[in-house]
Every structure is written in C-alpha cells, then in structure tokens.
C-alpha cells in the first residue's frame, strides 16, 4: 500500500495475531459485507425480532456484489465464546458466493469447514453460546481495523488490510514495482558466493529504486 500511496504511514490494518483456518489457501479479496454478533448473554429482544434479523442477515449476504468477504464483529470481544463460523455457516456463505470470513470472534469445526473458504478469526472454540446477529451493514472493528460496508479488503494468515479506493487502479503496478525492488536483494542473497560486499552493492541499488 505504501508503494502505491508513495509514502510511509499506511495504518488500515489489523493489530495483533489472528488465526487462519487455512493458511495455505490464497488470500481472500473482496468488498466487505459487515455485521455484528453477540453470544455471551441471551438476547433481550423477542424471538421474532431475532429470527427476522437473522433472515435479513442471510439475505444481505446472498445479495452482496461479488467478490465479497463476510466481516463480522463479535461485540463480546475480547471475551468471545460463540463460534459463529463452523461447517454450516461456511458452507452456506460459500454457497452464496462469499469468498471467506473475517472476524474478531470464534470459529470451530476445523477439518469440516467449506473448502476454499478461509476464516481469519480471533480464536477457536467449541461453544455456540447465545450467538445472534445484532446489526447488519454497519461499521465494524476487527482487531483495531475499522471497516465500513463495501470497502475492499485483503485478508490471509497475516491479518487484514483495507485497500483504499484511491490506489485500486495503480495497485497492480505498485505490486510489480515492489517485487522488482525486493528481487534486487533476494536474487543475490540466494547465491552461494553472497557476502557483505554483495549485500552492500545490492542494498544501494535497492535504495535507489525506492527514491
């Protein structure tokens, strides 16, 4: 992002260590479809309201523009107990065409989650608790990263970032520029005769490429 923006200081990323259900799968990239859940305590609203909101949530996810990522804030954080993401929800959301899930909450059913549907979350646990949807299509906070509906995000085993709309058209060129610059270090470093002098020469070229 900093290459695309032409400056240091990019800050739209998660803080801390997250857990990825499938570290070897490609990153998920898509527009954020957001919601908030809770599970520690029973809902105080009527069963009819909870059920209606649940169906509104699934309708919202099913109608989302693609590519899309489900981004779910558990408002019980850091005391999350309700594993919203498991075999059923991953397979339902994958069936809707969602690319994966990002949450500060809990997931479960390792080994039975939908194939090629990564979940990047805060913890793994066995309980559902009293999990229920609280809000739909709202700003969420995932490990310090604030995400609004329809922002473009990238998430994998390292965490997540928001891709600013201002860099979308130039991001591919920025990635190629970064790979070329890093190759100036990585290529000589992989050679058997690599030493400090070779590193110094490579680093000088690397620095010039960044100015």
Same domain, 61 and 148: yes
Higher-confidence position of 159 and 177:
159
pLDDT of residue 6: 53
Both 89 and 180 in a single domain? no
Residue 7 banded pLDDT, cuts 50, 70, 90: low
Q: Give the domain range for residue 182.
A: 171-209
Reported as type and span, the H/E element at residue 148 is none
Asked whether the whole model's pTM tops 0.85, one would answer yes
CATH number, residue 144 = 3.50.30.40
pLDDT digits (tens, 9 = 90+) for 82-110: 999 999 999 999 999 999 999 999 999 99
The count of structural domains within the chain is: 2
What is the per-residue pLDDT across 32-80, written as a single tens digit (0 to 9) for each? 999 999 999 999 999 999 999 999 999 999 997 899 999 999 999 999 9
Give yes or no: residues 151 and 195 share one domain: no
Phi, psi of 64 (to 5 degrees): -65, 140
> Are 96 and 52 part of one and the same domain?
yes
For residues 113 and 155, state if they share a domain: yes
- One domain for residues 177 and 194: yes
**136 and 204: one domain?**
no
Please give the Cα distance from 58 to 112 (Å, whole number): 21
> Exposed, middle or buried: residue 192 (CB in 10 Å: 0-12, 13-18, 19+)?
exposed
């Amino acid at each position: 992002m900093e290459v695309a923006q032409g400056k240091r200081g990019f800050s739209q990323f998660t803080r801390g260590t997250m857990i990825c259900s499938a570290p070897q799968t490609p990153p998920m990239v898509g527009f954020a479809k957001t919601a908030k859940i809770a599970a520690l305590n029973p809902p105080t609203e009527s069963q009819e309201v909870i059920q209606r909101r649940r169906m509104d949530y699934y309708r919202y996810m099913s109608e989302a523009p693609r590519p899309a990522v489900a981004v779910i804030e558990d408002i019980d954080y850091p005391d999350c107990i309700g594993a919203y993401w498991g075999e059923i929800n991953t397979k339902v959301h994958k069936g809707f065409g969602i690319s994966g899930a990002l949450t500060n909450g809990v997931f479960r059913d390792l080994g039975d989650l939908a194939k090629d549907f990564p979940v990047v979350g805060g913890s793994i646990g066995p309980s559902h608790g009293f999990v229920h949807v609280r809000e739909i299509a709202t700003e969420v906070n995932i490990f310090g990263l604030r995400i609004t509906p329809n922002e473009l995000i990238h998430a994998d085993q390292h965490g997540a970032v928001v891709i600013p709309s201002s860099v979308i058209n130039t991001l591919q060129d920025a990635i190629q520029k970064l790979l070329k610059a890093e190759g100036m270090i990585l290529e000589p470093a992989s050679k058997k005769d690599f030493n400090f002098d070779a590193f110094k020469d490579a680093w000088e070229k690397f620095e010039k490429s960044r100015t």
